[in-house]
Structure 1
Amino acid sequence: MSASIRTVLAACIAAGAFTAHAQNRAPAAQYWVDLSTTSMSIPGMPEEASVGGTGVGLLGGLMGGNPGAAAMGAMGGMGGRGKSLDAELHVRAKPAGVEGTHAIPAAMNMGPSLLLTPYRPQPASHGGTHAERNDTPERPKGRILMYWGCGDSIAAGQPRILDFAKQNASEYAQFFSSHAGASKGVQNRAGNALWPNERDSKRVPDNASLQGEHAVSGEGVPPSLKFSVSPEYDFLPRASMTAKGQPRDGVQLGWPAMQHAKAYFLHAQGAARGPDGAQDMIIWSSSAKPENGWALMSYQSPAQVAKLLQQKIVLQPNVTNCTIPKGIFDKAEGAMVNMIAYGPELNVSHPPRPAKAPADWQPEWTARVRIKSTGMTMLGMAEGANNADSANNAAGAHGTDGAGGAVTEAQDSPLSLPLPGVPNPVKVLKGLFGG
């Protein structure tokens, strides 16, 4: 054996030993909890009524009659309200997953514990033979018009326009780029144990509180995986947002300040017929800089929120109002506005992380709690007794039958056709209300 080969083999053995050592030093268990508070309202209608039916129909219309929007409502992803909790447990020694238990405080009002069961993803369906699939879909028609900033009038340089018939892949990527950052939490990873699940999916009551002592157990989980939640890291209040005024005059958005909220972000979208007759999507965000906003409607880490505040992408926690400039949605057949309040993030470990932790410091276990509150309301719906009829009319104008059924004339929406490498706004909007 030559000296060079011996050197390469020695290097490979050393690398393998280092990798095994690094894996052994990973936490024995990692636990993530995501808390979300959701509110959805249509002016003049009880919130319970707006949760399904008309609200889902309007959403389906705004998304160009895309059946995925109605499906999201049926799943509770877009139409639900109240509090929700998602949890995920990873055990290093059990990559296939273990059954675990999360002992919860009495303040949750959900019994003594939550059952965690391993996630087993179902095989993807390919939907037909190669010959039956259209590998070269027709380029969609329509545009996305992007506006940004709070104020009475539209600032210079707006809107930015993405024309699906003209832009290339690089222009798509630039348009859909975002200031949002990654925030690791519940992601439904294969083998990890999840709650809720098929065996335990009880509803989180409106009076649930995470405050108190928590303990997670299961095969391979260290007995010390216990932590306490203080009031600062409890559910955020519901986002009670109001929208006053018509789009042609400017819409004044307002909300009560939320204790423990670190920042706010607003995002509105509507649909209108473009100059060539195709359906255009109009989006607006409260950011002081160009930002499409979809990715920001989910959890952001504390460090990322601080960065976004410095960049003036999100609103300061003491801000309680914002005006959508007049004229943005004046030609829209209907529009909705969403808001998110970013809560704090609880990070605990055992042993506790030292103030000046060395580079190779590794705890026995870690736990993280992320918190957000989201809300949605409709724009341009006059207050009064006829609001329910207005909502149904708006849903019909958007290509739905008023009950969530899609009308075929809206099927040419640019949002209902896939584009390689471009995020589908319908899928992105799935994260607005819930996990």
Structure 2
Amino acid sequence: MSKRTLLSIAAATFVVAIPASSQSATSGKAEAELYIDVATHSMPGMPAMGGLGRAAMGLFGGGGGGNSYGMTRFPAMPGQYLDVALRNSLNPGGEAVDQVPAGLRLKQLPLLPPKVEAHEPGTGGVGIADGQVPDSTTRILIYWGCGTTVRKGQPKVIEISTKGGKVAVSGSMEGRYAPDRGINTGPDTALWPNQNDRRNVPDGASLAGEHRITGDRVPESLKFTLEQAHDFMPKIQLSSTGDLASGQTWRWPTVTGARGYFLHAMGSRDKELVLWSSSETADAGMGVVDYLPNATVDKWIREKVLLPASATSCAMPGGIFTGSDGEAAGGMLRMIAYGKESHIAWPPKPADPKAAWDPEWNVRVRTKSTAMAMLGMDMSGAAQQEGAEKAEPEAPVKNLLKGLLRR
């Protein structure tokens, strides 16, 4: 069975295991609700990828055709990302404008209702055409914890068998995941980016300053100021030493504004899918690499699911991503620095919980910084090279991607 099929089947199973509901994170009592998601993404050791970047975007869940709403959740290319969604109960789906500070260097952001696009049967999902899942058995090996040595009792093994189009799972797939606290982007919302404005956020741009939302029946008072805590977080300057056989140690300087960290790696070993995380528990996986409420970050740090803000390194066990021949099998590592989630409302919420409160509007701002790197790649100087323009990195990176897909 090909690596592409193995990854697709595993991904499909994980999708089934994670709840997919989406709902508003606020009470809904305000006349207008504004959601702002802020993200910074880096790919240390892989700058200036050019056309290869677009191929990687398609491989790891990004879309083509420029910037689009939702890319803050899972950005595929280095840069700064911004999603803005307005739900105005006085004019559902009505167009509006976010008058942004000059530091964002985008003048203003037009908010438009989403364009409904039809999808033909068999073209969605994770890359497996309808009715074409081959009969096979896939083993998933799960490792966890920082350290160059595999711990006692690991790995946790899960088997996924497909026969006649039916999937059977042996072993528990349950795990922690980020609560889905996005919004249903239906016709009652107005979004940026959108079909008419796919501009990218310029590198070095800032959200700090006054924002004002204007539009038909938008509350005239919808004006607020974002501080540094709401702004784009710095890139994760990730570097590593060691190798996959003996253990690869990941290092990073403290990320300003980070409340905690989490690392997750996925790759293959022979015909097995291998997962590893920095958590001290076995139930943390890909679903944790997303925005988290402040209270959840604090709780999971106490439970050692996440690394604390003081952490600056984490080692990955040696041998878990090498084949039976001892050669590096490769894979990808994702890291997230969790930023602050903030809520702004007008009028402000009274200190007395019994006092009546009928806000005209509320704003939620979420921040995070993420990084993605190739396992086994020499990244001893990646932190210094981040952002540097290079003319020749595309060929070796392209070969690594091809190896990851064809193995």
- TM-score, normalised to structure 2's length? 0.78
Greater mean deviation of Cα atoms: 385-394 or 295-304: 385-394
Alpha-carbon offset, residue 353 of structure 1: 1.0
- Rounded to whole Å, the distance in 2 between the matches of 1:343 and 1:220 is 33
- 1:75 CA drift (Å): 5.7
Which residue in the other structure is 1:369 paired with? 365
Match of 1:344 in 2: 340
Per the alignment, residue 400 of structure 2 pairs with: 394
Residues in 2 aligned to 1:101 and 1:71: alpha-carbon distance in whole angstroms: 29
Q: Is the 8 A contact 2:142 2:156 kept in 1?
A: yes
Q: 1:145 to 1:103 in 2, by over 3 A?
A: same
Cα distance in 2 between the residues matched to 1:237 and 1:388: 25
Larger helix proportion, structure 1 or 2? 1
Query: Which residue in the other structure is 1:211 paired with?
Result: 208
1:186, distance to aligned residue in structure 2 (A): 5.4
Instruction: Note the 1:75-94 alignment, pairs <5 A.
Output: 79-94=76-91
The equivalences for 1:5-404 within 5 A come to 26-42=29-45, 47-49=47-49, 52-53=51-52, 69=59, 72=62, 74=64, 79-95=76-92, 97-111=93-107, 113-127=108-122, 137-165=133-161, 171=169, 174-175=172-173, 177-182=174-179, 184-185=181-182, 187-274=184-271, 280-331=272-323, 332-358=328-354, 361-382=357-378, 390-400=396-406
Q: What is the CA–CA distance in structure 1 between the aligned matches of 2:398 and 2:223, rounded to whole Å?
A: 50
Q: Is residue 243–residue 377 contact of structure 1 (8 Å, CA) maintained in 2?
A: no
Q: CA deviation at 1:362?
A: 3.6
Residues 135 and 162 of structure 2 are in contact (CA less than 8 Å); yes or no, is this contact kept in structure 1? no
Superposition deviation, residue 334 in structure 1: 1.2
Q: Deviations over 1:214-254 (max 9, x none)?
A: 11122222111111111122110001111211111110100
In 1, the alpha carbon distance for the partners of 2:136 and 2:403 equals 21
1:277 equivalent in structure 2: none
- Hey, what does 1:404 align to over in structure 2? none
For structure 1, the 5+ residue unaligned runs are 1-23, 61-67, 275-279, 401-409, 411-435
Give the Cα separation in 1 of the matches to 2:94 and 2:171. Answer: 40
**2: distance between equivalents of 1:155 and 1:345?**
35
CA distance in 1, matches of 2:322, 2:28: 58
**CA distance in 2: counterparts of 1:329 and 1:163, whole angstroms:** 18
Aligned-residue offset at 1:73: 6.5
Residue segments in structure 2 that go unaligned for 5+ positions in a row: 1-26, 124-128, 382-389
Contact 2:240 2:378 in 1 (8 A): no
Letter in 1 for 2:116: P
Q: Deviation per CA, 1:146-204, whole angstroms, max 9, x where unpaired?
A: 111001211111111111128997957931x3323425245533330000112222221
Q: Does the 8 A contact of 1:243 with 1:379 survive in 2? A: no
Cα offset for 1:350? Answer: 1.1
For normalisation by structure 1, the TM-score amounts to 0.73
Aligned-pair identity (%): 34
